[in-house]
Chain A
Amino acid sequence: MSLLSLNGITASYGASQALFGVDLSVAEGEVVALMGRNGMGKSTTIKVICRLLQNTQGEVQFAGQNLAGMPAHRAAKLGLGLVPEGRRCFTNLTVRENLHASARPGAWDFARVHGLFPRLEERGDQLAGSLSGGEQQMLAIGRALMTNPRLLILDEATEGLAPVVRQEIWAAIARLKGDAGLSILVVDKTISELRRIADRVVILERGKSVWTGGMDDLSGPVKDQYLGV
């Protein structure tokens, strides 16, 4: 049974419709990559999952519950952990305070997050706003983990980072899959890295899910048609 399932999701920003029928599912322990060119509805889909935007049609089920009308904070408490695009840390809190502010009881605590990202322990008393982009990204992931999510959602987690830092983040994500067995929904464009960790791919085109399959099935024509690479 799926941990997360979206069936026929449509959503709008006011009068402007952004999603026209998204179907997507993530099983327990599975890593699913959500792909598509810019402006195809990936971030809007994430917003709908996290209840930052209510869908107009269709159904979002998470952990056996229908999320219709549910506010974002209650959906998060069910186990949705979001690492948003652009990191968005609480810049005027220290690293430790950022982690503390979102902590909920569970397997993920300070020690485990510090084990994944030792730099967060070193920078514990530093203001989040003074961290480098890569460190802020580590903090954003650490903060989402401190909520002890059942599903971790990474929205463009490596965008705008230096190659060496990207490798560090991808290595950490691989550990989350391998060691922790966490379910992950990842939005990214780096096919080579996604190939290492993702079990399945869902491609969005103009607000609609148009292709789904294994990473190995992501052939040249599909990439040409939907991803422009």
Chain B
Amino acid sequence: MLPERMINLLILGLLLAVPLVALAMDEPFIITLATKAAVLAVAGVGLNLALGQGGLVSFGHAAYFGVGGYAMGILASHAQSYTPLMEAPFLIEGTKSMLVIWLVAIVASALVALLVGALSLRTSGVYFIMVTLAFGQMLYYFAISWPAYGGEDGLSIYVRNGFPGLNTLDPIQFFGLCFAVLLIVLFVVNLLNKSPFGLALNGAHQNEERARTVGINVYRLRLTAFVISGAITGLAGALFADLNRFVSPTMFSWQTSGEIMVFIILGGVARLCGPVAGAAVYILLEHVLGGLSEYWHIYLGAILLFVVLFAKGGLVGGLSRREVHHAG
């Protein structure tokens, strides 16, 4: 058994080492896989704040992932075609600046999370799961029926958006950018988890009544966590869209919500680097098992079953000596 901090450093070290080795071996595809893992890890870390710390089993986090993705797609497509998003009552133009896109993605997904959270947090248990799922699916069908931005076919962006001082089309530079974003998100979430806000969120997860009697407004606390969680997942969506230079309604689908949840369960619920380990292993399995059989999800299901039954704290929990409270 190792201290969780050491396991976290090991996970992040491995995620950093793989693309560097791939660079030395001139394997850009592996760098792209590592970038995908880093981006999906950001989404997982976002959901883990709500699910792991707060016990909010959201089955609609693809909504924020998709909003972030479409924020990128819409802004970049307008910049690409030199047409403004809107002219009246004021002019809004598209942009190819990642920083602006990230800001828009964060704000837009936070606003959607605020709306969804304000309504869904009035329910609990299976009703909460169903309400969050319903919102995700509403956005999915909306995206399908929105021909201005590709409808069912999605939207392609020909050139990756720009970041000051970087050539984002260079795989290793784009990986470095995504990895830096992941580190910043982990740092912020770790600070939140250890703050009175995070402790209260964890406490309310364990015993809501007890939390209320020490003066914690549980609804407001959970809503705040839900919005932050949605905003982080939205940022991941923008990065994912830039990685693929493509957005489609699939980003909103319940399968995407399920995948983000799988990263957490695989890596460890309420573990800081659990989603990072989960996303990395998922991408690895997708690549290795996907090469063996198109039915690789069956093997993934068996592995997931094994983790849930025999390593309740996921990969990180199995290696760590510290126990944490698990969702649900």
Contact = CB atoms under 8 A, between A and B. Distances in A.
Contact of B214 (A52, A74, A92, A143): A143
B203 A72 contact: no
B206 A91 contact: yes
Interface string B169-186: 000000000000000000
A229 interface: no
Given A73-B218, A97-B199, A100-B199, A92 B212 contact: no
B210 A84 contact: yes
B196 A92 contact: no
Interface stretch (A18-26, A101-109, A203-211): A101-109
A93 B214 CA distance: 15
Interface in A71-130: 71-74, 76-77, 80-82, 84, 88, 90-93, 97-98, 100-104, 127
Residue of A72, A80, A103, A144 contacting most chain B CB atoms (<10 Å): A72
Contact of B199 (A72, A74, A77, A101): A101
B164 interface: no
B209 interface: yes
Given A52-B209, A88-B210, A73 B199 contact: no
Given A91-B206, A92-B325, A104 B215 contact: yes
Residue of B213, B216, B325 contacting most chain A CB atoms (<10 Å): B213
A90 B212 contact: no
A88 B207 contact: yes
B17 to A, nearest CB: 32
B323 interface: yes
B217 interface: yes
Interface residues of A, number: 28
A52 B206 contact: no
Interface string B212-235: 111111100000000000000000
Contact of B212 (A76, A81, A97): A76
A80 B203 CA distance: 18
B202 interface: yes
Nearest to B326: A92
B196 A101 contact: yes
A201 interface: no
B323 A147 contact: no
Summarize A's interface: helix, strand, loop or mixed.
mixed
Contacts of A93: 199, 202-203, 206
B210 A76 contact: no
B80 to A, nearest CB: 49
Given A84-B210, A103-B196, A73 B216 contact: yes
A135 B207 CA distance: 19
A90 B213 contact: no
A147 B214 contact: yes
B324 interface: yes
B34 interface: no
Interface string A33-59: 000000000000000001010000000
Residue of A50, A74, A102, A144 contacting most chain B CB atoms (<10 Å): A102
Contacts of B196: 100-101, 103
Contacts of A101: 196, 199-200, 202-203, 214, 216
Contacts of A72: 209, 212-213
Contacts of B214: 76, 81-82, 101-102, 143-144, 147
Nearest to B325: A92
A147 B215 CA distance: 8
Nearest to B197: A101
B292 to A, nearest CB: 39
Residue of A80, A88, A93, A144 contacting most chain B CB atoms (<10 Å): A93
Nearest to B207: A88
Contact of B323 (A92, A102, A143): A92
A73 B210 contact: no
A82 B213 CA distance: 7
Contacts of A73: 211-213, 215-218
Interface string B317-328: 000000111000
A91 B206 CA distance: 8
Nearest to A91: B206
A43 B206 CA distance: 21
Contact of B203 (A76, A90, A104): A90
A143 B214 CA distance: 8
A93 to B, nearest CB: 6
Interface in A137-173: 143-144, 147
Nearest to B213: A82
**CB-based closest 6 A-B pairs:** A76-B215, A101-B199, A102-B214, A92-B325, A72-B212, A90-B203
